[in-house]
Chains A and B, each alone.
Chain A
Amino acid sequence: MTEKLRHTPLHDAHVRAGAKLVEFAGWRMPVQYSGLIEEHRAVRAAAGLFDVSHMGEVRVAGEGAEAFLQRMTPNDVAKLRPGRAHYSALLTAEGTYVDDLLVYNLGDGEYLLVVNAANAAADYRWLAEHAGSAAGVEVEDVSDEYALLALQGPSAPQVLRGLTDVALAEVKRYGFARGRVDGAEAIVSRTGYTGEDGFEIYAAPRDAEGIWEALLEAGRPAGLVPAGLGARDTLRLEAAMALYGHEIDRTTTPFEAGLDWTVKLEKGDFVGREALVARREAGLERRLVGFEVTGRGIARHDHEVVADGEAVGRVTSGTWSPTFEKALGMAYVPVALAATGTRLEIRWKQRSLEARVVDLPFYRKG
Chain B
Amino acid sequence: MYPKNYLYTKEHEWARVEEDVCVLGITHFAQDELGEVVFVELPEVGQSFEANDEIGTIESVKAVAEVFTPVSGEVIEVNGALSDDPERVNRDPHGEGWLVKMKIRQAGELEDLMSAEEYESFAAGSG
Q: Cβ of A230 and Cβ of B61 under 8 Å apart?
A: yes
A170-181 Cβ-contact flags toward B at 8 Å (1 or 0): 000000000000
| Chain A residues, CB < 8 A from B38 | 298, 320
Contacts A230-B61, A298-B59, A319-B61 given; indicate if A36 touches B36 (C-beta within 8 A).
yes
Which of B's residues lie within 8 Å of A, judged by CB? 32, 35-36, 38-39, 41, 57, 59-62, 64
Other-chain contact of B41, A31, A297, A320 (Cβ < 8 Å): A297
The answer for the CA separation of A245 and B36 in the assembled complex, in Å, is 25
CA of A37 to CA of B86, assembled, Å? 14
Complex CA gap A261/B36 in Å reads 37
Knowing A35-B35, A35-B36, A36-B36, say if A319 contacts B62 (CB, 8 Å): yes
* Residues 321 to 346 of chain A near chain B (Cβ within 8 Å): 322
* Chain A residues closer than 8 Å to B59, beta-carbon distance: 297-298, 320
**Residues of the A chain whose Cβ atoms lie less than 8 Å from the Cβ of B41:** 296-297
| A32: Cβ under 8 A from any B Cβ | yes
In the assembled complex, which residues on chain A have CB atoms less than 8 Å from the CB atom of B57? 297
User: B64 touching A300 by the CB < 8 A rule?
Assistant: yes
Residue A8 is within 8 A (CB to CB) of chain B in the complex: no
Secondary structure at the B interface, as helix, strand, loop or mixed, is strand
A231 and chain B: residue at smallest CB distance: B61
Within 8 Å of chain B (Cβ to Cβ): is A233?
A: yes
Q: Does A234 sit at the interface, judged by CB under 8 A?
A: yes
B62: chain A residues at CB < 8 Å are 31, 36, 230, 233-234, 319
**Residues A320 and B61 in contact, CB atoms below 8 Å apart:** yes
Q: Assess the B61–A322 pair: CB atoms within 8 A.
A: yes
CB<8 Å pairs between A and B, sample of 28: A20-B32, A31-B62, A35-B35, A35-B36, A36-B35, A36-B36, A36-B62, A37-B36, A37-B61, A230-B35, A230-B61, A233-B62, A296-B39, A297-B39, A297-B41, A297-B57, A297-B59, A298-B38, A298-B59, A298-B64, A300-B64, A319-B62, A320-B38, A320-B39, A320-B59, A320-B60, A320-B61, A322-B61
Q: Count contacts on A: residues with CB < 8 A to the other chain.
A: 16
Say whether, besides A230-B62, A233-B62, A322-B61, A32 and B39 are in contact (CB < 8 Å).
no
Say how far B115's CB is from chain A's closest CB, in angstroms. Answer: 27
Q: How far is the CB of B60 from chain A (nearest CB, A)?
A: 8
Complex-state Cα separation, A363 to B57, whole angstroms: 28
Q: A35 vs B35: C-alpha distance in the bound complex, in angstroms?
A: 7
Q: How far apart sit A102 and B112, CA to CA, in the bound complex (Å)?
A: 55
Within 8 A of B (CB), among A25-66: 31-32, 35-37
Interfacial chain A residues near B60, Cβ < 8 Å:
320
| Complex interface: chain B residues within 8 A of A20 (CB) | 32
Which B residue's beta carbon lies closest to that of A298? B59
Q: Is the CB of B61 within 8 A of A234?
A: yes
Interface centre among A20, A31, A37, A322, by most B CB within 10 Å? A37
- The 5 lowest CB-CB distance pairs between A and B, nearest first, are A320-B38, A320-B61, A298-B59, A37-B36, A36-B61
Measured CB to CB, the closest approach of chain B to A48, in angstroms, equals 15
| Assembly CA distance A297 to B39 (angstroms) | 7
Bound form: Cα–Cα A319–B62 in Å: 6
Query: Within 8 Å CB of A32, what residues of B?
Result: 35
Identify the interface centre among B38, B41, B59, B61: most chain A CB within 10 Å of its CB: B61
**Which chain A residues lie closer than 8 Å to B32 at the CB level?**
20
